[in-house]
Amino acid sequence: MGLKNLTLKQQYRTDRDDLVTDFFIPCLSNSIEYDRAVEYVTLKSISTLSLGLQNFVQNDGKIRLITGHRYKSADLNVLSKIFNKKSKVANGSGIKNSKLDLLQNLIQKNKILIKIAIPNSEHVDGTFSEKIGIFRDEKNDMVAYTGTSNETFNTENRNFESVDVFTSWNNKSRVDIKISDFENLWNNETKYVQVYDFAYANQNNLLKYDSQWAIDTIS
């Protein structure tokens, strides 16, 4: 099965659809590559994506993420260690540690790539918050979407939102635009933002803790 065999709608909306089960999971499980530009990601979401992509671990699957520069303190601390090839993140056994081992292995094999986009112009007053997602399957069919800041459509964090969907077999020109936009970002060829590899951004103190750190400290 592939993306073209799925029954997809042009739009998914919270009042009519379950974005997780109706759209995101079917596309992810029928894809070998996933590109995503979004304001933020969490460690949990990255792990979930790597487990959901078809044949991701065994074959040539790849996930490319472009995010803003703010992370939860706990996530940033773990990701910093994961990107350090000399550091071992997990200690001991258990489900959590096995997931961290897998995640570190995938990142260090360049199967999960993360870049950071930071606005660098007076024309942008705020953070990077573009919302692009692109799925690709083994037959090179593609599904692109826009419209949600929820990076994995996490069932624990359901906003009221709508997602617009474009397919390479019905809306090739729209898909091509999204691919071009993403590739320009990835290659740091987009006006008003500077894009860095995660490791570089981390080593040069370009990443920031978001406001959640204060809540974590108090609780």
pLDDT at 159 over 80: no
Beta-ladder partners of 118: 194
Q: Are strands 193-197 and 132-136 parallel, antiparallel or unpaired?
A: unpaired
- Residue 86 has a pLDDT of 61
Locate all alpha helices (DSSP H) within the chain, ordered by sequence.
25-29, 43-52, 73-82, 95-108, 172-186, 198-203, 212-218
Q: Given this model, what pLDDT does residue 214 score?
A: 42
Bigger pLDDT: 1 vs 135: 135
Mean pLDDT lowest for which of 50-54, 149-153, 209-213? 209-213
What is the strand order of the sheet 193-197 is part of? 11-13, 162-167, 142-146, 132-136, 33-38, 62-67, 112-119, 193-197
Token match 């056994």: residue? Answer: 93
What confidence tier does 155 reach under pLDDT thresholds 50, 70, 90?
low
Can you give the pTM of this predicted structure? 0.87
Q: From the DSSP assignment, how many helices (H) and strands (E) are in the chain?
A: 7, 10
Highest-pLDDT range among 103-107, 195-199, 215-219: 195-199
More confident residue, 29 or 99: 29
Q: What are phi and psi of 47, to 5 degrees?
A: -65, -40
Chain centroid, CA 158 distance in Å: 17
Mean pLDDT of all residues in 185-201:
95
The whole-chain average pLDDT of the chain stands at 84
Largest CA distance in the chain: 51
Q: What is the dihedral of CA 72, 134, 11, 131, to 10 degrees?
A: 40
Type of residue numbered 189: E
Question: What is the mean predicted confidence (pLDDT) over 13-24?
Answer: 88
Residue 175 has pLDDT above 80, yes or no: yes
Query: Cβ neighbours of residue 95 under 8 Å, at least 6 residues apart?
Result: none
The DSSP code for 1 is -
> Could you tell me which residue, 40 or 176, shows the higher pLDDT?
176
CA nearest neighbour of 161 among 174, 146, 173, 176: 146
Going through 41-174 in order, the beta strands assigned E by DSSP cover 62-67, 70-71, 112-119, 132-136, 142-146, 162-167
> pLDDT digit string (tens) for 65-121?
999 988 888 888 889 888 876 666 655 555 567 778 888 888 888 899 999 999 998
Q: Which domains does the chain have, with CATH numbers?
A: 3-218 (3.30.870.10)
